């Protein structure tokens, strides 16, 4: 693509200028984006002049690309004048309207932390210190190592509060391996996308174009989502818009049709599903007509969807990481979804739901942390001290992170005395104010973050400034079996990267050898050495990364070959060795063992609508990106309530009106946006607005199996302000 | 000589706003200036929501060029329409002349209240936006001259946009032109941004463009 430069003197940009301002003065660097709290990340290639990043682009050839709006906005965030640049401690007592934060040195901050940690260990025991990582997930491995070394088993994260873990628990209980499904392959004939909007949430990672391409080559799409999302609007051949929190009934309705018409994979069902007869018996009662009454999905559409899905083998699945688990029947609702592809036999076959044959040895997702480095063994040994040990026994059996939703109660009972949080956000919790009060009442609490966020930091003792993605070395990235490093610039002010802070605390607690004398690169190398690599090798292969070859080709139907279980026996990694329609673990702990439907909260004349929060907007993640980047804030300045035009008309509500959204548990003031994106009877709002925190409308009631709150279930009403 | 244009496949546009921010990051336009605009369009009758991106159409017969009393707007041989900031006096005639409502006047504001972000301290002419002067998409001519696509096209995660030489029979964009349409064709400006439109939504999209709503949601 070459062209003549513009005629004569009117050239605004000349080729010569362009060349000198770009290629010659600039240096190139690489990092990852942490904007949507995904690990692994999307790749950023950046250009810098004397340690100032001037512009960025998608890392060419990187497995996760291209960037989204939030990724591009990380440049503006980096130089935001409001960034935290120094450690700060409160000088006014807790409960004061102004915490009176003042700048202190890192030495003073570390002395304070270590002083409290040593004292509390002596007075109350190490398990009374709660370690927490919110957003970003990047520090998890280092903080896990810190918790384990200090001797506290009580580590939790946003995944174990409200995000991925309930769905993961359902997957482990049902399939014996974690999966949110797969992108369609060349073999896939039909896709079931349930409770996720990959056009916006990028799971897995801005994958929408792959779905659009699949659509163009003839793959059929069934999308289940109450809202008319862009995913539904651009892909769906059949769009089911159920009443929130009735998932298990809708799945049962589909299975009813599949069994009734004999469309299931009989051989697979008989051989590989534990409790298939009980399941068949259970779904007999869920006729399409009955399911229509429960879920508001027309019976004909349920039948169509079931036929579409079961008769086009192989079928794939993309299920939400958390969208279907925000109700009081979270775990069994999600288990019900998983049973639909299972009875069709779409498990571990090309084009279906597959499990990687050769995952990178010694590594789990960064979200879990590498078991060795994160000292998982030690955490397991201390299991009996887990705060959630008695409350969530099935969870404790499968997941090693603590479910945090009972934190308020544990603090009141005196079982927690201190809280160390990296990127933690009080607004994650239902009835946020109770958690603010509880954490405020602790003997010591600290937060590591990029910005001062009053709804969280007003209630702690110490706030530490975190280096941002352009300024971090750790962690490195891996995608499948490819490993990548980054080339950080010097952090602004006195910011330190998350790993550095965790290592420094570890060193000062008296464990220099365990924490690599505070050297972040050495800490990374301790993990990289599992594959005979060092960070230097990643630098040498900066843009392309290092590929670690698998032992062999990808294999399918691994359950027949003894490749799914640790003991090498055929079958799945569940107690029965089969996919469990009837979960033996749930049965053992007295829970409903089938993926049973449970009536959602009732709507009443006073609260006739149902509230969904937590749905994604493409340019915001949680409470980030509002104040963090004016480029993004400019796109939407106010919390917008999506409400169906008919529901709005009934209440004489127009676009842009100030309205009060209320539930039996709380209320907020927001702006109305009548739109057909909202299903009639269901309103939606993005969470994480500090001026209108929707989680104050959510009660502290939890799914008994996973402890997840009902973010997508509560009855509500909307009135003009 | 090439004749550059963009084709947008609205069946792929999800309204994710990446093009908007990719452009911001590349060109560092001032607050409330969006060279890429993305609007939602709801059709209650068709029960359908679509999103569409539009920007300066780099018209073959650009009315803005004629409208400017200072002759500050010009079309290059490759069809790219640009504003010469030396000549522009900010009269705003071009804003009235443009049927697409994509021209704005640069405000005297920065994102960080009077503070320049360090990445903005640059000599790159495409990142300079003098207050009081008219502002339109340059089709990232500075990138085109380096053999790259405009930032919005390169950034689109859904690959909903194709950039290229409309006249080159071998270019991917040329091949898709027969099925595409132009918006507000009746204005006679020969816009060089083309669209693949789902169902029969062109008229409604045109109405939405004429309403010229602000882009913030």
- CATH number of the domain encompassing residue A399: 3.40.50.740
Q: pLDDT (tens digit, 9 = 90+) per residue, A203-243?
A: 545 688 899 999 999 999 999 999 999 999 999 999 999 99
- Domain membership of residue A567 (yes or no) is no
Angstroms from B47 CA to nearest CA on chain A: 7
List strands edge to edge, sheet with A238-240.
Answer: A238-240, A220-224, A190-194, A315-319
Residues A336 and A378 in one domain: no
Strand pairing class (A579-580; A273-274): parallel
Q: Nearest CB to B217: which of A21, A52, A640?
A: A640
Q: Are residues A189 and A309 in the same domain?
A: yes
Residues A82, A88, A89: CA angle, nearest 5 degrees: 140
Residue A381 lies in a domain: yes
Residue A392: which of A589, A183, A214 has the closest Cα?
A589
Co-location of A399 and A447 in the same domain: yes
Residue of B nearest to A72 (CA): B22
CA distance B92 to chain A (A): 20
What is the model's pLDDT at position A564?
A: 95
C-alpha distance from A529 to closest chain B C-alpha (Å): 35
Mean pLDDT (whole number) for B200-208: 90
**For position A202, what pLDDT does the model report?**
64
Distance CA A656, CA A638 (A): 10
Per the rule left: phi > 0, alpha: psi between -120 and 50, beta: everything else, A346 is: alpha
- Regarding whether A252 and A184 lie in a shared domain, the answer is yes
Domain check: are A518 and A625 in the same one?
Answer: no
pLDDT tens digits for range B125-159:
999 999 999 999 999 999 999 999 999 999 999 99
Q: Quick check: A6 pLDDT over 70? A: no
Evaluate whether the domain defined by B4-211 bears CATH number 3.40.50.300: no
ipTM here? 0.97
The domain boundary, picked from A285, A315, A343, lies at A343
Q: Are residues A662 and A527 in the same domain?
A: no
Same domain, residue pair A137 and A203: no
With a cut of 90, say whether residue A449 has pLDDT above it. yes
Please report the residues numbered 554 through 613 in chain A whose beta carbons come closer than 8 angstroms to any beta carbon of chain B.
none
More confident residue, A456 or A366: A456
Q: Domain limits at A408?
A: 103-163+361-475+492-532
E-state strands within A487-646: 546-547, 579-580, 609-613, 640-643
Q: Do B22 and A67 touch (CB under 8 A)?
A: yes
pLDDT above 80 for A8: no
Does residue A596 form part of some domain?
no
CATH number of the domain bearing residue A669: 2.40.40.20
pLDDT at B211: 86
Q: Cβ(A711)–Cβ(A687) under 8 Å?
A: yes
Same domain, A465 and A398: yes
What is the reported pLDDT for A24? Answer: 52
Report the pLDDT value the prediction gives residue A415, as an integer from 0 to 100: 98
**pLDDT-derived band at B216, boundaries 50, 70, 90:** low
The reported pLDDT for the residue numbered A209 is 87
Q: What is the C-alpha R_g of chain B? A: 17
pLDDT at A714: 98
Average pLDDT over residues A673-696: 96
Is the pLDDT at A576 greater than 50? The verdict is yes
pLDDT at A83: 96
pLDDT at A206: 64
User: Nearest CB to B119: which of A21, A79, A618?
Assistant: A79
Under 8 Å between Cβ of B60 and A108 = no
- ω into residue B4 within 30 of 0, thus cis? no
Q: Where are the domains of chain B?
A: 4-211
Q: Count of alpha carbons within 13 Å of A267, Cβ hemisphere only?
A: 3
* B122/A635 Cβ within 8 A: no
Residue A547 lies inside a defined structural domain of this protein? no
- A108-133 pLDDT, tens per residue? 999 999 999 999 999 999 999 999 99
pTM: 0.95
* Number of domains present in the structure of chain A: 4
The answer, yes or no, to whether residue A50 has pLDDT greater than 80, is yes
- Would A573 be classed as within a structural domain? no
**Residues 602-621 in A contacting B (C-alpha not used; CB under 8 Å):** 618-619
Q: Between chains, do B32 and A634 touch, taking CB under 8 Å as contact? A: yes
Query: Exposure pattern of A212-250 as b/e (b: 16+ CB <10 Å)?
Result: bebbeeebbbbbbbbbbbbbbbbbbebbbbbbbbbbbbb
pLDDT-derived band at A22 (thresholds 50, 70, 90) equals: low
Asked whether the predicted pLDDT for residue A695 surpasses 50, the reply is yes
Q: Is A445 helix (H, G, I), strand (E, B) or coil?
A: strand
Cα gap A545→A173, rounded to integer Å: 35
B83, β-bridge pairs: B73
Which of A68, A75, A632 faces B119 most closely, judged by CB atoms?
A: A75
Q: Which A residues, 18 through 37, put their C-beta within 8 Å of a C-beta on chain B? A: 18-19, 21-22
Residues A194 and A322 in one domain: yes
DSSP 8-state secondary structure symbol assigned to residue A174: H
Average the pLDDT over A522-548 and give the result: 98
Q: Is residue A570 part of a domain?
A: no
A372 and A462 inside one domain: yes
**Among the listed ranges A11-25, A97-111, B58-72, B134-148, which one has the minimum average pLDDT value?**
A11-25
Please tell me the distance from the alpha carbon of residue A172 to that of residue B197, in angstroms, as a whole number: 43
- Asked if residue A9 has pLDDT above 50, the reply is no
The mean pLDDT of A348-376, rounded to a whole number, is 93
Q: How high is the pLDDT of residue B43? A: 86
In chain A, residues with a C-beta closer than 8 Å to the C-beta of B22 are 67, 69, 72
Whole-angstrom distance, CA of residue B175 vs CA of residue A478: 39
The reported pLDDT for the residue numbered A205 is: 53
pLDDT in tens, A349-361: 999 999 999 999 9
Residues B1-11 have pLDDT tens digits of 899 999 999 99
In order of A118, A155, A384, B201, the CA distances from A152 in angstroms are 12, 7, 11, 60
């Amino acid at each position: 693509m070459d062209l003549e430069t513009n005629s004569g003197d009117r050239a605004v940009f000349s080729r010569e200028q362009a060349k000198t301002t770009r290629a010659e003065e600039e240096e190139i660097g690489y990092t990852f984006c942490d904007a949507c709290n995904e690990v692994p990340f999307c790749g950023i290639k950046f250009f810098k002049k004397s340690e100032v990043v001037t512009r960025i682009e998608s890392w060419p050839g990187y497995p996760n690309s291209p960037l989204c709006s939030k990724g591009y906005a990380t440049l503006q965030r980096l130089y935001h004048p409001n960034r935290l640049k120094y450690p700060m401690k409160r000088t006014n007592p807790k409960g004061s309207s102004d915490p009176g934060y003042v700048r202190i040195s890192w030495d003073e901050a570390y002395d304070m932390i270590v002083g409290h940690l040593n004292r509390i260990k002596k007075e109350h025991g190490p398990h009374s210190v709660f370690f927490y990582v919110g957003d970003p997930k990047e520090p998890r491995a280092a903080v896990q190592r810190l918790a384990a070394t200090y001797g506290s088993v009580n580590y939790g994260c946003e995944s174990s509060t409200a995000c991925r873990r309930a769905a993961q628990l359902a997957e482990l209980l049902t399939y014996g391996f974690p999966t949110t499904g797969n992108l369609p392959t060349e073999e896939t004939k039909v896709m079931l996308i349930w409770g996720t909007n990959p056009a916006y949430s990028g799971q897995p990672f801005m994958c929408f174009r792959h779905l659009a391409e699949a659509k163009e080559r003839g793959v059929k799409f069934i999308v289940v989502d109450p809202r008319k999302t862009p995913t539904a609007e651009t892909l769906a051949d059949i769009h089911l818009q159920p009443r929130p929190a009735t998932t298990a009934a809708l799945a049962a309705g589909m299975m009813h049709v599949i069994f009734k018409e004999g469309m299931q994979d009989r051989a697979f069902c008989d051989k590989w599903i534990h409790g298939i007869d009980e399941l068949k018996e259970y779904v007999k009662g869920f006729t399409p007509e009955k399911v229509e009454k429960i879920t508001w999905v027309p019976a004909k559409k349920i039948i169509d969807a079931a036929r579409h899905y079961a008769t086009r083998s192989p079928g794939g699945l993309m299920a939400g990481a958390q969208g279907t688990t925000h109700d009081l029947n979270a775990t069994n609702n999600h288990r019900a979804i998983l049973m639909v592809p299972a009875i069709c036999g779409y498990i571990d076959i090309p084009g279906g739901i597959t499990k990687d044959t050769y995952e990178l040895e010694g590594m789990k997702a960064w979200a879990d942390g590498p078991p060795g480095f994160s000292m998982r063994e030690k955490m397991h040994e201390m299991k009996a001290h887990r705060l959630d040990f008695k409350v969530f026994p099935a969870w404790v059996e499968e997941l090693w992170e603590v479910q945090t939703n009972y934190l308020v109660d544990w603090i009141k009972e005196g079982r927690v005395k201190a809280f160390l949080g990296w990127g933690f956000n009080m607004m994650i919790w239902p009835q946020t104010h109770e958690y603010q009060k509880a954490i405020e009442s602790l003997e010591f609490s600290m937060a590591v973050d990029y910005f001062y966020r009053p709804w969280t930091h007003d209630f702690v003792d110490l706030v530490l400034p975190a280096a941002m993605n352009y300024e971090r070395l750790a962690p490195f990235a891996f995608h499948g079996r490819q490993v990548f490093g980054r080339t950080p610039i010097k952090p602004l002010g006195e910011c330190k990267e998350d790993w550095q802070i965790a290592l420094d605390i570890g060193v000062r607690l008296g464990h220099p050898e365990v924490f690599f004398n505070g050297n972040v690169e050495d800490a990374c190398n301790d993990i990289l050495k599992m594959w005979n690599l060092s960070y230097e090798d990643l630098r040498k292969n900066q843009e392309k990364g290092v590929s670690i070859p698998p032992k062999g080709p990808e294999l399918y139907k691994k359950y027949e070959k003894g490749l799914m279980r640790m003991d090498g026996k055929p079958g799945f990694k569940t107690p029965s060795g089969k996919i469990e329609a009837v979960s033996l673990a749930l049965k053992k702990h007295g829970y409903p063992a089938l993926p049973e439907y449970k009536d959602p909260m009732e709507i009443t004349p006073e609260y006739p609508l149902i509230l969904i929060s937590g749905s994604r907007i493409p340019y915001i993640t949680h409470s980030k990106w509002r104040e963090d980047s004016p480029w993004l804030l400019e796109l939407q300045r106010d919390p917008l309530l999506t409400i169906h035009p008919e529901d709005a008309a009934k209440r004489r509500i127009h676009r842009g009106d100030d309205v009060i959204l209320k539930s039996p548990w709380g209320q907020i003031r927001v702006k109305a946006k009548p739109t057909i994106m909202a299903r009639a009877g269901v309103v939606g709002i993005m969470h994480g607005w500090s001026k209108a925190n929707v989680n104050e409308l959510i009660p502290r009631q939890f799914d008994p199996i996973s402890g997840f709150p009902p973010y997508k279930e509560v009855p509500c009403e909307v009135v003009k302000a | 000589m090439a004749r550059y244009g963009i084709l947008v496949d609205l069946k792929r546009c999800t309204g994710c706003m990446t093009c908007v921010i990719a452009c911001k990051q590349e060109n560092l336009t001032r607050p409330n200036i969006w060279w890429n605009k993305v609007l939602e369009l709801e059709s209650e009758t068709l029960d359908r929501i679509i999103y569409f991106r539009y920007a300066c159409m780099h018209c073959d017969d650009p009315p803005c060029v004629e409208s400017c009393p200072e002759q500050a707007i010009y079309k290059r041989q490759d069809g790219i329409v640009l504003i010469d900031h030396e000549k522009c006096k900010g009269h705003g005639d071009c804003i009235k002349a443009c049927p697409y409502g994509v021209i704005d006047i640069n405000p005297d504001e920065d994102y960080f209240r009077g503070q320049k972000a360090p990445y903005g301290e640059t000599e790159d002419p495409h990142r300079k936006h003098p207050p009081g002067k008219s502002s339109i998409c340059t089709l990232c001519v500075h990138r085109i001259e380096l053999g790259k696509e405009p930032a919005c096209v390169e950034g689109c995660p859904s690959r909903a946009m194709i950039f290229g030489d409309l006249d080159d029979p071998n270019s991917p964009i040329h091949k898709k032109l027969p099925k595409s349409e132009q918006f507000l064709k009746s204005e006679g400006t020969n816009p060089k941004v083309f669209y693949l439109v789902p169902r029969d939504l062109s008229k409604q999209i045109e109405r939405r463009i004429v309403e010229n709503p602000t882009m913030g949601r």
